[in-house]
């Protein structure tokens, strides 16, 4: 089933001669349950594309349909709702809140289903805590639950972000260069987890990478960007 459909997606920054087209007419179909690598050199538009798909930003022109809903015409509030309910992020700018314990960071994935007055005080039920611990256990870092997030290694942080996606029950997982600063062993673990979430939880996974070897090894489908256009 078709999950994501973009048509002539353009994202331009600046005006006139200064204009940069970070995305320059991207038309793509992605099926539910796909595991797709987005590859391309630095500056090719990978993060911009992930931001659009993640409903973090609207395109300058073109259309984006997610699960039958025309996302590119939604207001900022509606966009936030789609984002919170369906999309899990493993993004630099959505990384963990350093001063909070790892488990709290994972529980943040539940905020949209927690009454506002409880989320205000970060009060979570015993069941919710249990779910968070299970998620941490399934990404292999349950022993870090009560540490502050700042104390985790890069690979552990990515895994905590994946645990947050699990408790959120995200249907789409977007990972923007999740292994860019990791050693080969940690990279493999993070990619294995993405693969597992795709296979076992039937999540649709989009992962941007600049290591082509990892894309080839893990992802059945690869989309290559160059200067904001799909080249492969």
Query: What is the torsion angle, in degrees rounded to the nearest 10, for the CA atoms of residue 173, residue 69, residue 229 and residue 91?
Result: -30
- CB-wise, 47 or 204, nearer to Mg ion? 47
Q: 54 touches which of ligand ADP, Mg ion, none (CB within 5 to 8 A by kind)?
A: none
198 makes contact with ligand ADP (CB under 6 A)? no
Among 15, 18, 42, 232, binds ligand ADP (CB under 6 A): 42
Smallest separation, CB 150 to Mg ion (Å): 23
93-113 burial string, b = 16+ CB within 10 Å, else e? eeebeeebbbbbbbbbbbeee
Give the span between the Cα atoms of 197 and 168, in whole angstroms: 13
CB nearer to Mg ion: give 22 or 160: 22
Nearest residue (CB) to Mg ion, 46 versus 171: 46
Please spell the DSSP secondary structure of 30-71, one letter per residue: EETT-EEEEE--TTSSHHHHHHHHTTSS--SEEEEEETTEEG
The residue from 48, 104, 187, 198 that contacts ligand ADP (CB under 6 A) is: 48
**Sites for ligand ADP among residues 16-35 (CB under 6 A):** 20, 22
Residues that bind ligand ADP (CB under 6 A): 13, 20, 22, 40, 42-48
């Amino acid at each position: 089933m078709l999950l994501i459909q973009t048509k002539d997606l353009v994202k331009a920054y600046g005006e006139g001669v200064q204009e940069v087209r970070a995305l320059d007419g991207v038309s793509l179909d992605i099926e539910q349950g796909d595991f797709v690598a987005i590859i391309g050199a630095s500056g090719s538009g990978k993060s911009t594309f992930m931001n659009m798909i993640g409903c973090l930003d609207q395109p300058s022109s073109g259309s984006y349909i997610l699960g039958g809903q025309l996302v590119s015409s939604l207001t900022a509030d509606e966009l936030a709702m789609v984002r919170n309910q369906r999309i899990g992020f493993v993004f630099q700018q959505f990384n963990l809140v350093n001063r909070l314990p790892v488990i709290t960071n994972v529980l943040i994935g539940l905020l949209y289903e927690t009454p506002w007055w409880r989320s205000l005080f970060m009060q979570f039920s015993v069941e919710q805590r249990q779910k968070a611990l299970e998620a941490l256990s399934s990404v292999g870092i349950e022993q870090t639950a009560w540490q502050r997030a700042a104390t985790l290694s890069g690979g552990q942080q990515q895994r905590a972000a994946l645990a947050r996606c699990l408790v959120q029950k995200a249907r789409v997982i977007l990972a923007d260069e999740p292994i860019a600063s990791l050693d080969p062993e940690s990279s493999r673990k993070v990619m294995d987890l993405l693969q597992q979430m795709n296979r076992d939880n039937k999540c649709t996974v989009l992962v941007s990478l600049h290591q082509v070897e990892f894309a080839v090894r893990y992802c059945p489908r690869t989309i290559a960007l160059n200067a904001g256009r799909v080249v492969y």
